[in-house]
Amino acid sequence: MSAASQFLLDAGVKSADITHREIIRKGVENYWAGHMKGRQRIRDWEAARQRCQETKQEAVSNLHRYLLQFEAGVHSRGGHVFWAANSAEACEYIRALAVSRGVKTVVKSKSMVTEEIQLAPVLEREGIAVWETDLGEYIVQLRHEPPYHIVTPAMHLNRDQIAELFKKKIEPALATNDPVELVAVARRALRKAFFSAEMGISGANFIVADAGAIAISTNEGNGRLCTSVPRIHVCVTGIEKVIPRLADLAVLWPVLATSGTGQPITTYSTLISGPRQPGEADGPEEFHVVLVDNGRSELLANEEQREVLHCIRCGACLNVCPVFRHIGGHSYGTIYPGPIGSVLTPHLRGPEFDHLAYASSLCGACTSVCPVKINLHRHLLHNRRDSVEDWNVGTGVSPAQPARGVEARRPRGKFSERLGFKLWRFAMLHPGVYGFGARMGKRSLRLLYALGLRGSLLDPMRNWNRRRAPVPLPGKSFRAMWRKGLR
C-alpha cells in the first residue's frame, strides 16, 4: 500500500476513535491554557517571535561559518565532530564507535534526529541494549511505537493505559494508576540503566557557535544523567540547529519553553562544550557530536522554503492543528507529524509523502503560533504546487527552483483529476450545462437517499455521510433564488 493510501486509511480510523479524541482534546486544552499563561509573562510576545526569527535567519544564512566556529570550539577541548551526509553515515559512525569501545548499554535522552536516522535498531542489532530515558519516550519504546508527538511522545495514552503497560512490562505487582507512582516505577527501572551504561546519546536543541557548545533542554533530568554519568557522550543533531551566540538563548530558551509546554524556561537548560576537562569532578571521557545533513542542505538551496530550517521543534504547530487533533500523530506515518512534518517530510523522504501537503485545512493556526514565524501553511501550498507541477514542460513561469531533482519530475496530477477539472471548467463556462448538471445531481441524490442508501458505497457524498449527521438537500438552488430576486 502506498504511503498516501495508508495515511487515508489510518486517518479515517483514528478520527472516528472517540477515546483517542477525548485524550487529545484534554491534552491540547491543558497545553493551550498553559501556553497562553506563559505568553502573559513575556512583555511583547510578537517582539520575542521576531527576535527568534531573526536569530535563526542569521544562523541559517551563515550556516557553514557558524558550524565551523562550533566545530573549532569543540575540537579545542578535545571533543570530536562528525559530519554525516545521511542517516546511514550517522548510524555507522555511532555503531562503530560503540563497538570499538565495548559498549553494552546505551541510555538515550529525547532526540527526534535519532528517530529520523533510525539509530536504535542499528545498535540493537549489535546486541547493545538501548534505553529511552525520557518518560514519554520510554513508554512508547515499551509499546514498540514511534513517538506520537515531538515534545510529548505519549500524549495519546491515559494513565490507565500506562499503568497497564508498566504492570505487564516492569512491575507485575503494580496496583495503582497514580501518575506519581507511575513516574516512580520508571525512575527505579531507568536508574539502573543510567549507572550501568557506557554510552549516553542525546540530541541538541541548539548548537551554540560562539561558545562551541550544545544546548539541551529537559525537565526530567534524564538528559542531564545521560550526559554526566556514562563514559562516552554522543550528541546527534541536525546541521540547522545552530545559533550564533550564547546570549541568543536569553530569548530562545524562554520562547522554546513557552511554546513547548507553557513553562517560563525548561527546568534544566544545559550547555555542554566538551568531554570532562582536567580538574573537573566528573563527566564523560569522550564527547562526540554527529552533525546530520540528511536532506537539509538541499532544503537550504530552496530559497522559497529555506526558512523551514528555522524550526526549533517546539511542537506548538501540532497542538493547534485541527487536523493533528483529529487524526493524531501516528496517522501521518512520519517521524515528524503535524504541520511541520507535513512540510518537511517530502523534502527529507521524497515525493512518496507529497500527499501530506493536503493534510491541512490551510487555516493558518500553525503559522500564527510558530515561535520563529515560519509561514507553515504557505509552505504546504508550495508543496501542493510542487507535487502537481511538471518542471520539465514548464515555460519558465515556475516561481521557484524545485528542491528535488528536476529530472525526476513528471506530471503527476491523476488522469481522473485532470478530466474532472476539464469538465468543471466546461460547466462553469456554460451556465445551461451547469444548471442541468446540478438539477440532475440533486434529483439522483434525492432518489438515492429515499432508497435509504445515504452513506453507502453508491453515495458520492459517502466520505461525509457515513460518519456524520446528514446534511439536508436544499429545496431551491442558489441560482433559482438569485433569479427570484435575491440579487
Partner 1 sequence: MRVAGAEEQKMNADNPSREVILGRIRDALGAAPAPAPAPCAYSSIFDPIANPLERFQQECAANLMECLLSSDEASSTQHLATALSSLPAGEIFAQDDPILRRLLTSAAVAQQMRWSSEGAPAESSQATISRCEALIAQTGSIFVTAACGGRGASIVAPVHIVYATASQLVPDLETALTNATRNQTLSRGSFACVISGSSRTADIEKILVEGAHGPRRLVVIVQL
What's the helix, strand, coil split of the chain in %, to 5? 55, 10, 35
- Asked whether position 63 contacts partner 1 by CB under 8 A, the answer is yes
- Asked whether position 297 contacts partner 1 by CB under 8 A, the answer is yes
Region from 3-11, 71-79, 434-442, 478-486 binding partner 1, contact rule CB under 8 A:
71-79
- Nearer residue to partner 1 within complex by CB, 114 or 360: 114
Instruction: Please select the residue that binds partner 1; options are 111, 266, 334, 383, rule is CB under 8 A.
Output: 266
- Asked whether position 271 contacts partner 1 by CB under 8 A, the answer is yes
- Nearer residue to partner 1 within complex by CB, 83 or 358: 83
- Nearer residue to partner 1 within complex by CB, 219 or 375: 219
Smallest gap, in angstroms, from Cβ of residue 344 to partner 1?
16
Task: Residue 206: name the closest of 59, 45, 72, 85 by CA.
Answer: 59
Tell me, rounded to whole angstroms, the distance of Cα 437 from its chain centroid.
Answer: 43
- Asked whether position 386 contacts partner 1 by CB under 8 A, the answer is no
Give residues 120-179 in contact with partner 1 (rule: CB under 8 A). 133-136, 139, 152-154, 157-159, 162, 179
- Nearer residue to partner 1 within complex by CB, 187 or 349: 187
Q: What is the side-by-side strand order in the sheet with 129-132? A: 80-84, 286-292, 232-238, 199-202, 105-108, 129-132
- Asked whether position 76 contacts partner 1 by CB under 8 A, the answer is yes
Smallest gap, in angstroms, from Cβ of residue 425 to partner 1?
39
Instruction: Give the count of beta carbons closer than 10 Å to the beta carbon of residue 81.
Output: 19
Retrieve residue 73's grid coordinates: 570550539
Per-residue burial over 61-76, b if 16 or more Cβ lie within 10 Å, else e, is eebeebbebbbebbee
Q: What is the DSSP letter of 18?
A: H
Q: What is the DSSP letter of 469?
A: P
Instruction: Please select the residue that binds partner 1; options are 18, 175, 281, 429, rule is CB under 8 A.
Output: 281
Residue 201 parent element (H or E): strand 199-202
Smallest gap, in angstroms, from Cβ of residue 378 to partner 1?
20
Q: Are 209 and 64 in contact (CB under 8 A)?
A: no
Instruction: Give the count of beta carbons closer than 10 Å to the beta carbon of residue 419.
Output: 10
The partner residues of 105 in beta bridges, in order of sequence, read 129
Pairwise CA distance, residues 219 & 291, whole Å: 24
Smallest gap, in angstroms, from Cβ of residue 9 to partner 1?
28
Instruction: Please select the residue that binds partner 1; options are 8, 15, 39, 77, rule is CB under 8 A.
Output: 77
Number of residues located near partner 1, criterion CB under 8 A: 99
- Nearer residue to partner 1 within complex by CB, 11 or 112: 112
- Nearer residue to partner 1 within complex by CB, 54 or 198: 54
- Nearer residue to partner 1 within complex by CB, 262 or 341: 262
Give residues 217-256 in contact with partner 1 (rule: CB under 8 A). 219-222, 224-225, 227-229, 239, 245-247, 249-251, 253-254
Which amino acid is residue 487, in one-letter code?
R
Per-residue burial over 167-180, b if 16 or more Cβ lie within 10 Å, else e, is beebbeebeebeee
- Asked whether position 3 contacts partner 1 by CB under 8 A, the answer is no
- Asked whether position 353 contacts partner 1 by CB under 8 A, the answer is no
- Nearer residue to partner 1 within complex by CB, 119 or 356: 119
- Asked whether position 32 contacts partner 1 by CB under 8 A, the answer is no
Instruction: Please select the residue that binds partner 1; options are 202, 261, 342, 360, rule is CB under 8 A.
Output: 261
Per-residue burial over 264-301, b if 16 or more Cβ lie within 10 Å, else e, is eebeebbebbbbbeeeeeebbebbbbbbbbbbbeebbe
429 phi/psi in degrees, rounded to 5: -90, -10
Retrieve residue 186's grid coordinates: 520508571
Retrieve residue 84's grid coordinates: 554525516
- Nearer residue to partner 1 within complex by CB, 275 or 346: 275
- Asked whether position 277 contacts partner 1 by CB under 8 A, the answer is yes
